[in-house]
Structure 1
Amino acid sequence: MRYEFADCVLDVDRHVLLRGGKTVPVEPQVFDLLELLAESPGKLVARDQIIERVWNGRFVSDSTISARIAAARKAVGDDGKAQRIIKTVVRRGLQMAAEVRNDAGPARDSNRSTQQLRYARGSGGQAIAFALSGDGPPVLRVGSIVYDLEAEWRLASERAYLRAMEARFTMLRYNKRDQTHWDDPCHTNYEGVAEDILAVTQAAGFDRFAIVSEFGGIFSALRFATRYPDRVSRLAIVGGWAEGRDHREDVEGPDSIRTLIIEGWKDPGSGYAVGSLLSYFPEGPLDTVREIVREMQALYSVEQKLYQRDSGNTASVLHLLPQVQCPTLVLHGRNSAVHPLSEARKLAAGIPDASLVILETANHIPLPGNDVYDTYIETLQEFLGGGE
């Protein structure tokens, strides 16, 4: 879906705003506000509608709402005095004042207010929730920022990613189950997770498919790809690492991220908690990072977060790399401080037929609003669709 107004183009599927033909970086909440207004040009969009769509019904202050409106106006070349494009209806809401043209087609799954969950039976007999959306070649997503389907759906940054991917592919996502041994983070049961992936993909009707893995999802994805090579057509690794912190010779001093978790994870929205995630996303956008932290604090206890951190620190997949048989793309931020570029180079060098694309960012993975986000999505789509 594309909306055209004034000299702007709002491309919903790619989560891109163009003005005068040039990309304008916008935060996810600002993009959602513009999309909401563009959907109903000339009509009043009430304050309650805005809060429901942009903030998922959560309480927000008037100053926060005003700041997003101001940012939206600035992004489209408008301001509060002129109000040529976004008009304020006093004490009522907003109105898209400009004429809007669109290429409306059938409503996409990603525009629903809810997602449809189905269930597969895992290797241990447990139910595993999964979701299918989009249309095109099959792609399985393994790992994400929050590892939870409902939390992903609530995050504006995740919905933007899904919109972009669903424009090209049939996306399969699933809930990761707890595979941990709390007394020993070295023995996370990745083999069991590989069997869960098999169960979910079979239930979804996926026979041969591409995989996009993010963060620690690389470990499950690699084990599945080496155990079931005939089922994996392509593998994308985003923000992965070959060896955790405990295996790296050039690491000195205590783990500062672990310290931030211990100090502040129990306090909702604390600076320590936000700081632990800003280590991964120093370029933000800050509002996006704060939103992710709120979801993560609701999902995970201090103990669970420490376990995730420790299991990542102790992990190593060097022995699996030569066994990967499919074309592989490694995407990594050049200036990522959490898992340095050297780890991505180990992955690309160790996997036969692998290539490395370096993204010019300090974020571990680009977020909507980052300068390289469009390049990231386009590179990922081109690679995953290579077998189309």
Structure 2
Amino acid sequence: MRYRFAGFELDEAQHELTNDGTLVTVEPLVFDLILLLVQNAGQLITRDRLVEEIWNGRIVSDSAISACLASARAALGDSGKTQSVIRTVARRGVRLVATVQCVETPGEDEPALRQGRAVKHAFHEETQRVRYARSEEGHSIAYAITGSGPPVLYCRLSGAANLEMEWKLPGGRAFFDTVAERFSVLRFDPVGSGMSERQTIETDFSRMARDAIRVADAAGIDRFSIYSTSGGVLPAAHIAANFPDRIKKLAIIGGYVDGRSRRQVNPRADVIRELMANGWDEPESSFATAVLASYFPEGPFDTVKDFVRLMQSAVDKEHMLKLRDAINDASIEPLLARITCPTLIFHGRKDGIHPLSEAQKLAAGIRDAELITLETANHLPLPDTPVWDQFMETLIAFLAE
């Protein structure tokens, strides 16, 4: 369906807004807001309905709603002062006051369109919508939200991520597609990786935590839970310790307190780093495959190969080596006593990357934290392995409590 109003045309199917034939660039969230108002022209849309329809019922601040409305008005040549297109009804909501003409596109199935809109954030979405936030330093940070329900921030392995590749690979989607049945999963590529600005900067886990908060603010999310994997526990701990009012719960898998260099009195040569140095930039090299195989000795091998492609696409060798060094040298021990949210820790009993003793240190250092030991040698649980179902059911139950 296409809608014409106040000199504009909005094409729902093409997700385009034009003004006298000229394309008007708007963010996806702003487009959804304009579409909602146009489809309900003349009707009062309350704040609660805005939150339900545009933010999928997530907790969202008044300032985020106001900013989205201001962007919608600006795109339509309107303002809060003139309100010639979008009018605010004090303490009630907003409505579109322009006259709207509906224009059907030939061959369009209107019931199917309405159904498609209703499930646009549902499980197994076909299209990923990537948006951008800005770091304190002005670097662009790519993020995406999948699913609907209470928000969960996903802090991934080692700070190396690629939203686009993760979306395409079954091994990458296995986790967030499952969780998206119950929750809104917020994922982002840290600066220097994936679809974010490929700027080479110093690895700073405190800065990564602040970047995560900037992403949550851009997404209009006030409070959220965190799911962190492996090296993702480092920025996750900084978030939970420094922004306690923003965090509902913290889940950790494959985490640790002290990096490899700190927990060994006489550190041996880092074989994994040597493998990275010798073959990270070669697509699907045996060296890169060996790195990921050491994390997942129980496979499945096809999923391990997926992760090789994912992580090689996320960062180049220089960035990966800097991440490796920072992770080896890191310690979050001073932060643990400041983490006050409910915390659940998972760890493989035979994990050869970070020993079970590191998970025990996490559980002992965080007040009232709980530890679940999984009978696996894999660093993280993977689909089609014996521990996967137990892990996912326990995690979802914890987040949903």
- The match for 1:132 is 145
Q: Extract unaligned runs of 5+ from structure 1.
A: 1-104
Structure-2 separation of matches of 1:337 and 1:256:
13
Structure-1 separation of matches of 2:310 and 2:151:
28
* Percent identity between the two aligned chains: 45
- The match for 2:131 is 118
Partner amino acid, structure 2, of 1:379: T
Structure ID, larger Rg: 2
Structure-1 separation of matches of 2:126 and 2:265:
47
- The match for 2:181 is 167
1:149 aligns with 2:163: yes
Give the alignment's Cα RMSD to 1 decimal: 2.3
Structure 1 residues 128, 252: closer, same or farther in 2, change over 3 A?
Answer: closer
Q: 1:331 aligns with which of 346, 368, 381?
A: 346
Structure 1 residues 302, 120: closer, same or farther in 2, change over 3 A?
Answer: closer
- The match for 1:348 is 363
Structure-1 separation of matches of 2:133 and 2:279:
36
Partner amino acid, structure 1, of 2:231: G
Give the conservation status (yes or no) of the 8 Å contact 2:140–2:191. no
Structure-1 separation of matches of 2:276 and 2:138:
33
Correspondence 1:225-374 to 2 at 5 A = 225-249=240-264, 252-374=267-389
Q: 2:210 aligns with which of 195, 211, 215?
A: 195
Q: CA deviation at 1:368?
A: 1.0
SS at match of 2:206: helix
**Superposition TM-score, scaled by structure 2 size:** 0.65
**Count of matched residue pairs:** 279
Structure 1 residues 295, 141: closer, same or farther in 2, change over 3 A?
Answer: closer
Structure-1 separation of matches of 2:242 and 2:267:
35
Q: CA deviation at 1:310?
A: 1.1
Structure 1 residues 212, 251: closer, same or farther in 2, change over 3 A?
Answer: farther
Give the conservation status (yes or no) of the 8 Å contact 1:182–1:307. no
Structure 1 residues 128, 249: closer, same or farther in 2, change over 3 A?
Answer: closer
Q: Which has the higher contact order (CA 8 A, sep 6+)?
A: 1
Structure-2 separation of matches of 1:138 and 1:112:
17
Structure-1 separation of matches of 2:381 and 2:263:
24
Correspondence 1:77-96 to 2 at 5 A = none
Structure-2 separation of matches of 1:190 and 1:246:
17
Q: Extract unaligned runs of 5+ from structure 2.
A: 1-117
Structure 1 residues 259, 229: closer, same or farther in 2, change over 3 A?
Answer: same
SS at match of 1:125: coil
Give the conservation status (yes or no) of the 8 Å contact 2:161–2:310. no
